[in-house]
Structure 1
């Protein structure tokens, strides 16, 4: 294959991937803008549509509120998402969609999959800890390292929350 043909194919492939990405971004961005209280955020290859709940609710009511908005209680599963959320919602304690209500382990509310990397999400909990002894719900909180960390909390306590549109 000639050098020129290879370059042309690579450019065509790049443009097709870029145009797919733009169409997907546009759909989410448009969907996000229809909900005036939501903010469209982009960080590296992560794009999200979030709303910070200014009022304080317990965990169950935070889930209900987000659902009434056509959203989910936010699920922050990647380092990019944690950084993105921290940049816009720092210095708050926020409910997020990771809990163990009526379950033996913490699972995400969007897909009901258990979180296997528990020590990454809850650095304050020893690996040997019996999860049944921990509170059932989790929050995101800023520590001194300028990132959000997860902490277990009783579900009846009232905190801010984040809703996510997908």
Structure 2
């Protein structure tokens, strides 16, 4: 049983702070995304930290488990935390993500889905599928996608 599941057994669905890592994998100008089995939407690979793990170890472990890819080259792109990274899962669990965002340099291995991934695919940054809320916010934070603000005209 993992750390988050252990907490959930004690506190149920109430909000928790969930430390973890998210990993950006680029192939040329395309971003690797996974169609997540738990939320049925597209997101970047990543997951929660286990007791005793570092953010880097978490990133490498999650990347391998969710995609089959291996890297020893991680660059920190930013941090994602606070109220805007609150998420309520479809089954009711509530979390406040505290995530280190990494970019994976050289990757090796072959793409391989696990039980958390329904599909893995690379997408051009200018034509991404509909993303889950957390991935959308992470990509905005690191400048990979830009949200166009609409100015209201005043009469």
- TM-score after normalising by structure 1: 0.24
Structure with the greater alpha carbon radius of gyration: 1
Bigger share in helix: 1
